[in-house]
Structure 1
């Protein structure tokens, strides 16, 4: 190992990580309560120790060099180990402490806070950093190893992963209460295709699952409107712009108060499974290990939570390919 690398300090790495995150020396200085010259000095000293530049200015924007990317990955390992050490020391003192970094697909954002609340009742000194992303963004975070754990509904088969299915995620068809289809006793999926379909953006796991399933059932929607969030879809349906295929728990309040109606489609609900996921061989912090164990062992608690969202546990009528919803 280069002797110069041994002279790097944790403070220098903290400043460097802030510059990477803020993409600005001045914003990093503000975040770190330092002057901009102090931040510049720390970065220059790091560059001298490494022997390569860490940042380039292109079109008035700060860009990381390859050396900076390598240093950033190393710093994440270093600070991750220190966080783990802090958790282990707390464990030795008889209490589990630390932060769980959890990234979840947006379809899970209505349920996972309740799951974490149940977990935190057992471990009140654990904090949470929750990041909500779509499926494509979750896969990028998974590849970059940016989080302790992820919650996915479609686990990729081309990556070495450990995953645990723990709950069904039913997708249903919804329409405004005065929609003509609401008068039907039973419908085929094909009957929906004459109406506009409100969809999520490209990269959404829900959109991907629905498109694959509709293609399988030969139900092709000629008229679609795209929204960047479930909330946008829901409001669009309420406004009368069309119908949508949405996770049931995402619209439970609107169904309860009568703003929306679940359409009686024979081929639905489409069920996928939420899974807690991490790269195979990844070192898990004590907090991440405990959360993974909680999800695996506390099925009764999860069942009780799911009943509040009217999430079925029976064998599904329709299952998205790739995942067994019953684990």
Structure 2
């Protein structure tokens, strides 16, 4: 037999997702390339690794055993590469992050340079709501979290990153009252909220309560992207972070409702538990962020921080 590590990786992924198409997408390969490697791998065995019934792919019992063996082999290869990197003085290991959903527009830019400098570092990033992020941090399920509101009940260390500006937005066909927008006539609209536990929702609720804005009708959606699409479709209005809607504003799909007291401003923060026993990878990431965050913010986010048009 003369199969390659690349073929093992491809078959392992196909066995996981039960689809050549999905495997090709997750491996960032073309579907024909994956199909060719699968055929070449299968040709080295007398027994079938899979079968196609209708349009669905099924892994045979023999194929499942080969997939398990492939997993063990690839894990050993990773271990060899990891040990080799350590002896060569390279940084190797895992970095785990839990971030609130709107932070997904920012964190990749902070990670990019670090990952390019350290090829043996693997990153796992969970994108969820604020409550789940804090829970993951509290339960030591992640190295770092990225939030706009620092939890008071936890003893943490933090690095302040960038401004998080939030504005009231409506769809392009929003009917502006003749007398102009004010707190009283806002209540004629449907208010679109994020789910409970979202920092964006909390900021929106505080603003509405502070300014005694009545809510006659409301809608609740579970992601920032869903809220954006609902507002674009004209279902209602909402307070949203500019960083997640910039292109929709530029394209004219959304428009900012200029109301007193806006934009709201908070700061994104990278946080971690004071008591956490940080790995060498985590320590290196902290140093990288301290040394490079200002340059990254200036290069990638200046338009959000310095813009006065909102």
TM-score w.r.t. the length of structure 2 is 0.68
Structure 1 residue 97 and structure 2 residue 97: aligned?
no
Kindly state the Cα deviation for residue 222 of structure 1 after the two structures are TM-superposed: 2.4
Structure 1 residue 311 and structure 2 residue 304: aligned?
yes
Kindly state the Cα deviation for residue 169 of structure 1 after the two structures are TM-superposed: 0.9
Structure 1 residue 248 and structure 2 residue 231: aligned?
no
Instruction: For 1:141 and 1:104, locate their aligned partners in 2 and report how far apart those are by CA, in whole Å.
Output: 10
Q: How does 1:78-117 map to 2 (within 5 A)?
A: 90=85, 93-117=88-112
The answer (yes or no) to whether the contact 2:148–2:268 under 8 Å persists in 1 is: yes
Structure 1 residue 172 and structure 2 residue 167: aligned?
yes
The answer (yes or no) to whether the contact 2:194–2:221 under 8 Å persists in 1 is: yes
Instruction: For 1:31 and 1:272, locate their aligned partners in 2 and report how far apart those are by CA, in whole Å.
Output: 51
Kindly state the Cα deviation for residue 252 of structure 1 after the two structures are TM-superposed: 1.2
| One of 129, 144, 167 as aligned partner of 1:149 | 144
RMSD, aligned CA: 3.1
Gaps of 5+ in 2: 1-63, 70-77
Distance 1:289 1:188, change over 3 A: farther
| One of 122, 132, 136 as aligned partner of 1:137 | 132
Distance 1:33 1:87, change over 3 A: closer
The answer (yes or no) to whether the contact 2:189–2:237 under 8 Å persists in 1 is: yes
The answer (yes or no) to whether the contact 1:181–1:263 under 8 Å persists in 2 is: no
Instruction: For 1:305 and 1:231, locate their aligned partners in 2 and report how far apart those are by CA, in whole Å.
Output: 21
Moved over 4 A (4+): 29-32, 86-89, 186-191
Q: Deviations over 1:253-277 (max 9, x none)?
A: 2112111112222311111111111
Distance 1:190 1:182, change over 3 A: closer
Distance 1:205 1:118, change over 3 A: same
Q: Deviations over 1:6-30 (max 9, x none)?
A: xxxxxxxxxxxxxxxxxxxxxxx98
Question: What is aligned with 2:290?
Answer: 296
Instruction: For 1:176 and 1:31, locate their aligned partners in 2 and report how far apart those are by CA, in whole Å.
Output: 53
Question: What is aligned with 2:258?
Answer: 264
Question: What is aligned with 1:194?
Answer: 188
Count of matched residue positions in the alignment of Structure 1 and Structure 2: 237
SS in 2 for 1:311: helix
The answer (yes or no) to whether the contact 1:175–1:182 under 8 Å persists in 2 is: no
Instruction: For 1:301 and 1:30, locate their aligned partners in 2 and report how far apart those are by CA, in whole Å.
Output: 46
Q: Deviations over 1:11-58 (max 9, x none)?
A: xxxxxxxxxxxxxxxxxx989828xxxxxxxxxxxxxxxxxxxxxxxx
Question: What is aligned with 1:49?
Answer: none
The answer (yes or no) to whether the contact 2:170–2:232 under 8 Å persists in 1 is: yes
Distance 1:89 1:229, change over 3 A: same
SS in 2 for 1:113: helix
Structure 1 residue 224 and structure 2 residue 218: aligned?
yes
The answer (yes or no) to whether the contact 1:119–1:291 under 8 Å persists in 2 is: yes
Instruction: For 1:155 and 1:217, locate their aligned partners in 2 and report how far apart those are by CA, in whole Å.
Output: 24
Kindly state the Cα deviation for residue 302 of structure 1 after the two structures are TM-superposed: 2.1
The answer (yes or no) to whether the contact 1:168–1:313 under 8 Å persists in 2 is: no
SS in 1 for 2:278: coil
SS in 1 for 2:176: helix
Instruction: For 2:199 and 2:83, locate their aligned partners in 1 and report how far apart those are by CA, in whole Å.
Output: 36
SS in 2 for 1:281: coil
TM-score w.r.t. the length of structure 1 is 0.65
The answer (yes or no) to whether the contact 2:99–2:128 under 8 Å persists in 1 is: yes
Question: What is aligned with 2:278?
Answer: 284
SS in 1 for 2:153: coil
